[in-house]
Amino acid sequence: MSRFRTIDDLEASGRTVLVRADLNVPLDEGRVGDDFRITASLRTIGELRRAGARVVVCSHLGRPKGPDPRYTMAPVAARLGELGGFPVRSAPDVAGEGARAAVAAAAPGEVVVLENTRFAPGETKNDAALSADLADLADLFVLDAFGSAHRAHASTVGVAERLPSAAGRLLAEEVVAFDRLLHEPERPFVVILGGAKVSDKLGVIRALLPKVDGMLVGGAMCFTLLAARGVEVAESRVEADLVPEVRAVLESAAGSRLVLPSDLVVADGFTPDAAHRVAPATAIPSGTMGLDIGPETAERFGGVIRQAGTLFWNGPMGVFEWPAFATGTRAVAAAVAEAKGYSVAGGGDSVAALRAFGMEEAVSHLSTGGGAGLELLEAGTLPGLEVLGRWADGA
């Protein structure tokens, strides 16, 4: 597969390489929470450093609408240096005078971290001037932010149109994993979907249904599917406007591959300590809401998962943040971890759940992308991969 060049194909020594990483880590009162994404980005940055490049790293962090001290990259830059064991300079802006000065001051092998790309108003608009300013900072561009490769922003696509570009290690590894799902997956191919909203996942449901042997659905999204089947879901979360579309999917040729819960854990309210009990999915008591799949469903899903040749999991089965409603997600995570087949898990919350349960090592590939993975499965490509492809074709 040579859809793009990788850092192996770059003459990085003595050059300045701009790396778009995904350092969008959770912040807790200005401190880095989970550093999974920083660790995942170290390989590309480290290899380029050792190859003698001046490495300029950029990323977005949170969703500020402009410069906002709460979202400065400074603590992330500090953690990157700690984890990587190399000195890191922080630039005071994204691609302005401060960034240019910081890059000019760096020696080969040194790392500069630019300020949060979302501080620049042109970032999300893929603004030409910002893209050009970013491109002016470097000789080469490496896209390593799989989690942002579905967004045509200045720091992902705009700059890649202007500098010879290649994929970083993380991005390349993610694409290999998703290719394995998309092309000739070992059978049975089982997809597990959960999480908050059907609206996030309807596209991928439609695209994957014809390709899979089974699609197991839990999480809040299962209630819109149950409602479309005519089940009374009481106070459970439903996206009512999507019911007609979801009904059409259920009635389509491959609709029978959708497997819905047969029982649920229902609660009297949306609180961690709400009174709760198990109810059949066809008889959700009025006044209650489903917050987890039930034990029978967890067992049934687990059986299908353990037999799978290929697995993709995105989205928790319930409100796993609350112990009373984490059982279904834990059971599915355990089944994915025990499965002999090739397994990919994506989605911020699903990966957080796997890690909280200490099961992340047993999954074949832990994706750093939620939306990006879903879009790649749906469309077969991503805007960031398309632009890298142009350089591979000898641009």
**Is residue 346 part of the contact set for Mg ion (CB under 5 A)?**
no
**Is residue 195 part of the contact set for ligand ADP (CB under 6 A)?**
yes
CB of 122 to ligand ADP, least distance (A): 28
Segment contacting ligand ADP by CB under 6 A, of 48-56, 87-95, 113-121, 344-352: 344-352
According to CB under 6 A, which one of 294, 302, 347, 383 is a site residue for ligand ADP? Answer: 347
* Pick 140 or 366: Cβ nearer ligand ADP: 366
CB of 188 to ligand ADP, least distance (A): 22
Query: Cβ distance 333 to 315 under 8 Å?
Result: no
Query: Cβ distance 193 to 172 under 8 Å?
Result: no
Active-site residue flag, 52: no
Region of residue 227 (phi > 0: left; psi between -120 and 50: alpha; otherwise: beta): alpha
* Pick 68 or 360: Cβ nearer ligand ADP: 360
* Pick 58 or 265: Cβ nearer ligand ADP: 265
Active-site residue flag, 197: yes
Q: How far apart are CA 51 and CA 12, in angstroms?
A: 6
Query: Cβ distance 99 to 137 under 8 Å?
Result: yes
**Is residue 84 part of the contact set for ligand ADP (CB under 6 A)?**
no
3-class DSSP state of 16: strand
CB of 197 to Mg ion, least distance (A): 10
Judged by CB under 6 A, how many residues of this single chain contact ligand ADP?
19
Nearest-CA neighbor of 304 among 205, 190, 210, 184? 190
Segment contacting Mg ion by CB under 5 A, of 290-298, 316-324, 332-340, 348-356: 348-356
Active-site residue flag, 257: no
CA distances from 319 to 158, 289, 347, 375 (A): 38, 11, 15, 24
Segment contacting Mg ion by CB under 5 A, of 66-74, 86-94, 212-220, 345-353: 345-353
Query: Cβ distance 336 to 365 under 8 Å?
Result: no
Whether a cis peptide bond, with omega within 30° of 0, leads into 188 is: yes
**Is residue 349 part of the contact set for Mg ion (CB under 5 A)?**
yes
CB of 374 to ligand ADP, least distance (A): 8
Out of ligand ADP, Mg ion, none, what residue 278 binds, judged by CB under 5 to 8 A for its kind, is: none
Pairing of strands 27-28, 31-32: antiparallel
Pairing of strands 342-346, 310-314: parallel
Residues with catalytic function:
37, 197, 348, 371
